[in-house]
């Protein structure tokens, strides 16, 4: 399938929002200093394009950060849509200092969902939002794309697990495999908390995260059990435990 032609706004939106906004200000200055009838007056129109891209980039970054902040467990990763999983990963890698491009069309990009840049290093990322194991074939395919595009590193991220063959093959390559638990640890969710959040509590009515069983330690209800949000202390919502 032929790859859809990207618009100028989409290309600019891949940049940090403040770069597009600053470029818009520069173009306003150029347009304002140009003489009447000069082609440079078109700089005004170009500045509008830059600011539209800045708004799109800012909104997308905000959404990505929100998706990342809601992750508390392997179960919450599984609840994401395919696109949401990729956008959440974009926020996670951006926090590590990478410049991140979400390709938006993995089939036309050799199976690559994210392209990371940091200094002169290029890293290609495949996101596999699967419940089944990711096999060695996927690892081989990404390594082939890395070689063709001269990328220094590759990362495959899944909300599930990897087969033993996939792990063994990747161990000999400049590649990193992140399963659901490893991803949680990488974004700062401690293992014991991730296990706790997988309990069978209801979803938090405030933030939609998992709720976990807790026991009151003091007050009139000391010893009584209740459901508390797994994101405590960021979210302090509680629910009574019935039955």
The arithmetic mean of pLDDT across residues 176-199, rounded, is: 70
pLDDT in tens, 109-161: 458 999 999 999 999 999 999 888 999 999 999 999 999 999 999 999 998 89
At residue 229, the pLDDT reads 80
- Domain layout of the chain by residue ranges: 1-59, 70-198, 202-240
Share of the chain residues as helix, strand and coil, in percent rounded to the nearest 5: 45, 20, 35
- Cα distance between residue 154 and residue 176, in whole Å: 6
Tokens at 137, concatenated: 């074939």
Q: Is the pLDDT of residue 163 over 90?
A: yes
Report the candidate in 126, 170, 132, 160 with the shortest Cα–Cα distance to residue 145.
126
Token code pair at residue 228: 């508390």
Q: What's the burial of 84, exposed, middle or buried (CB within 10 Å: 0-12/13-18/19+)? A: middle
Distance CA 242, CA 50 (A): 55
Tokens coding 129 = 């939002």
- The pLDDT value recorded for residue 48 is 79
| Cβ atoms < 10 Å from Cβ of 185 | 13
Give, in order, the Cα–Cα distances in Å from 230 to each of 32, 77, 177, 236: 54, 14, 27, 9
Classify residue 238 by burial, with Cβ atoms within 10 Å: 0-12, 13-18, 19+. Answer: middle
Query: Contact, 198 vs 74, CB < 8 A?
Result: yes
In this prediction the pTM is 0.64
Q: Which helix (H) or strand (E) holds 115?
A: strand 114-118
Q: Which structure tokens are listed for 10?
A: 């989409």
- Mind listing the pLDDT tens digit for each residue in 15-62? 676 677 787 778 777 766 655 556 666 676 778 778 777 887 787 788
Note the pLDDT tens digit of each residue in 58-78. Answer: 877 888 888 888 888 888 888
Q: Starting from the edge strand earliest in sequence, which strands make up the sheet with 99-102, in order? A: 99-102, 114-118, 121-128, 153-158, 175-178
Mean pLDDT of the residues in the chain: 80
Q: Which of 111, 177, 184, 122 is nearest to 153 (CA)?
A: 122
For residue 17, the model assigns a pLDDT of 66
CATH match of 70-198 with 3.40.50.300:
no
């Amino acid at each position: 399938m032929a790859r859809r032609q990207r618009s100028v706004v989409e290309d600019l939106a891949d940049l940090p929002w403040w770069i597009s906004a600053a470029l818009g200000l520069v173009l306003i200055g150029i347009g304002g200093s140009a003489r009447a009838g000069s082609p440079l007056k078109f700089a005004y129109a170009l500045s509008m394009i830059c600011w539209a891209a800045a708004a799109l980039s800012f909104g997308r970054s905000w959404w990505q950060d929100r998706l990342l902040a809601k992750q508390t467990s392997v179960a919450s990763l599984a609840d994401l849509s395919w696109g949401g999983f990729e956008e959440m990963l974009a926020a996670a890698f951006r926090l590590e200092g990478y410049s991140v491009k979400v390709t938006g069309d993995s089939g036309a990009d050799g199976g690559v969902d994210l392209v990371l840049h940091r200094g002169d290093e290029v890293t290609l990322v495949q996101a596999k939002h699967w419940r089944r194991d990711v096999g060695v074939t996927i690892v081989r395919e990404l390594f082939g794309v890395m070689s063709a595009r001269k990328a220094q590193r590759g990362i495959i991220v899944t909300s599930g697990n990897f087969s033993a063959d996939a792990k063994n093959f990747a161990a000999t390559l400049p590649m990193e495999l992140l399963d659901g638990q490893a991803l949680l640890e990488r974004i700062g969710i401690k293992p014991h908390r991730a296990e706790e959040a997988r309990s069978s509590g209801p979803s938090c009515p405030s933030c939609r995260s998992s709720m976990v069983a807790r026991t009151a330690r003091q007050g009139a209800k000391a010893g009584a059990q209740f459901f508390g949000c797994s994101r405590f202390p960021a979210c302090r919502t509680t629910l009574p435990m019935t039955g």
